[in-house]
Structure 1
């Protein structure tokens, strides 16, 4: 039963919850953390940890995609980023990291105005593939029809269609919208698509044949979507709603399981724990990985919304670097704030609550316990 709050005589709204509003609860059983499995799979691809590196230039480069793959996760390269616009983007990444706050957005708009070069898309994918890790690349819906043939021909294993909000029923009077159902049906590789933040939107995306749905709305640490568009959906409720769509689609489709991936608002190990507890199969991490000393952002973080040519909905933010990518994921943690040894913390939480794998952990008891009232 949904509880609604009266905002005024003409409007009612339901209550929604962020990850900060909830907590998981220990059960009668505990386990040794070494006996806990954090493995997950999507389609034919197996991973040791439920972590995808977000397709942002401050997080994933070809080098960090390879590194993350060897550490058991999956790095998703932004195929509309600096790596597919410039032969050598390293000096530009250095420049972005050194920009004053006042001029960062304008300069990034200038840098990202350089056209995407299909040959660089091919070369970056080939570089990752040569390292022997799973290859994933991301395009926005607007660029997918233009570049997907290049991406697939280059040998991508998983194809990600990612935007602030992606729907299966985009309506446009000025351009032919992407027919997701036909596109996914015709494609030879699994497709992950999003973001979606509601039950209905996610259910429609699942019906297109997507292998996974990203839960989010462009609402990460570097996003200003709520301030610029007034759009926001607290992530704990969003993940639970989309997990509900997955359950109902599983029945509707006769057993087809679509993976739910939390994408946004997952900044600490506690957020990862709570995203999985609400029903996510994996998490897509941005700022959490941008804190690594070997991340391409060099202590800064920004997403594609930050340099939109007409309406930026994000900003470049400074992040505290806490250690190498390996130590961010596996420790040892030099701090006690949930920004390092993310997987160790996940294992400890699963062990403390008595669950042995991620699918079991989705059944953990959750309570509403907002920080403001602790």
Structure 2
């Protein structure tokens, strides 16, 4: 039976759902939250929570990446951000924090573009990653596909443990008549470290990314708190459907490859603990958090949150978003919480949701029953 809806006589489309449109259902069993494990392992690296800090300048600095690692997660440093363009980016962060609060202010956008015009310095990539490594935590850095060929040797020489290739959308078959595209399959095959790549928003592109040898695929397109891609380009993939589609691609790829497991990592549109819970329920192994961590007192954005799309030199398609600071990173991730809106003790909420619905670990929780409840998005 087709699940396509007729939009008009000449076009049909699938109905897709956001995380707000779905709800999880308790089972016949409940558990003690202390008996629930939310540990996550990808390749040889083990973590106490299934959380990656998004490589965004408002979220991750070397110091916050270290703090994330010490709290049991994985902080990913943006290797095209302010920390690799400036020896001391703090004055620039202070300036960004006092730019106009109007999201559509051309002068503020122009200044942001000017700040990010400074060239990336390979020696700063090396020193920033070394700072994280010296702290004794897992080292992860992120480049866009456009910059990967230029800087990946520097990144590997610096001793990165996990390499992230992250863009608005990343495909295994980029076509260009003017430049030699990055051959992901060959590139990943030649590396000695696990690679996480994305974003992907559907079954087919995700399956092709899995075939490149990636250890994980980032799921998401146009769903983050800062992005205006939906308004600027008309492209958007509701997260609940995107995660479920790519989780199915993971299952089919396991059959195709003889059992090779590729991690599905939800990236974008998860501002509260309930969103994280539902992302994993839809099939994600882990989540990459931006705005949820930008609310921490240690976040370099100082209460502001922005992504790389906000300072694109030709077509900026992201806002600087003002967020409320809710407490230290420890409190945001592990509590104790003093907020009732799901913005702190994110991991305590995940553990309690799993306990309330009777599941003991993340892999089991992915099988939970869910309901389509679109009325929730209006509440």
TM-score scaled by structure 2? 0.98
Alignment correspondent of 1:318: 322
Q: Report runs of 4+ in structure 1 exceeding 3 Å deviation.
A: none
Counterpart of 1:123 (choices 108, 127, 134) is: 127
**Is structure 2 residue 55 aligned with structure 1 residue 76?**
no
Secondary structure of 1:96's counterpart equals helix
In 2, Cα distance between equivalents of 1:320 and 1:5? 39
Match of 2:51 in 1: 51
Paired with 1:352 and 1:5, the residues of 2 have a C-alpha distance of: 36
Asked if 1:201 is matched to 2:199, the reply is no
Alpha-carbon deviation of 1:106? 1.1
- SS for the counterpart of 1:161 is strand
Gaps of 5+ in 2: none
Structure 1 counterpart SS, 2:261:
coil
The 1:57/1:229 distance shift into structure 2, 3 A limit, reads: same
Distance 1:82 1:331 in 2: 30
Q: What CA distance in whole angstroms lies between the structure 2 residues aligned with 1:66 and 1:2?
A: 48
1:134 matches 2:134: no
The answer on 1:233 being equivalent to 2:237 is yes
Whole-Å Cα distance in 2 between the matches of residues 105 and 196 of structure 1? 27
Counterpart position of 2:246:
242
Find the partner of 1:104 among 105, 108, 114.
108
Q: Which residue of 2 aligns with 1:272?
A: 276
2:295 is the counterpart of 1:291: yes
CA distance in 2, matches of 1:22, 1:175: 42
Q: How many residues align?
A: 374
Residues 241 and 305 of structure 1: is their aligned pair in 2 closer, same or farther, counting only changes over 3 Å?
same
Question: What is the Cα deviation at residue 334 of structure 1?
Answer: 1.6
> How far apart are the structure 2 equivalents of 1:197 and 1:372?
21
Residue 40 of structure 1 corresponds to 40
Contact 1:163 1:218 in 2 (8 A): no
SS of the equivalent of 2:6 reads strand
Which residue of 1 is the match for residue 11 of structure 2? Answer: 11
Counterparts of 2:311 and 2:37, CA distance in 1:
39
Aligned to 2:345: 341
Distance across 2 between alignment mates of 1:40 and 1:284:
13
Give unpaired runs (5+ residues) of structure 1.
none
Partner residue, 2:264: 260
- The answer on whether the counterparts of 2:267 and 2:287 sit within 8 Å (CA) in structure 1 is yes
Alignment of 1:163-182 (within 5 A): 163-182=167-186
Once the two structures are superposed, what CA deviation does each residue of 1:15-59 show, in whole Å capped at 9, x if it has no partner?
Answer: 000000000000000001111000010000000000000000000
Separation in structure 2 between the aligned mates of residue 109 and residue 72 of structure 1, nearest angstrom = 34
Question: Does residue 20 of structure 1 match 2:24?
Answer: no
8 A Cα contact 2:52 2:287, kept in partner? yes
Q: Deviations over 1:200-247 (max 9, x none)?
A: 000000000000000011420000000000000000000000000000
Q: Distance in 2 between matches of 1:358 and 1:339?
A: 21
TM (norm. structure 1) is 0.99
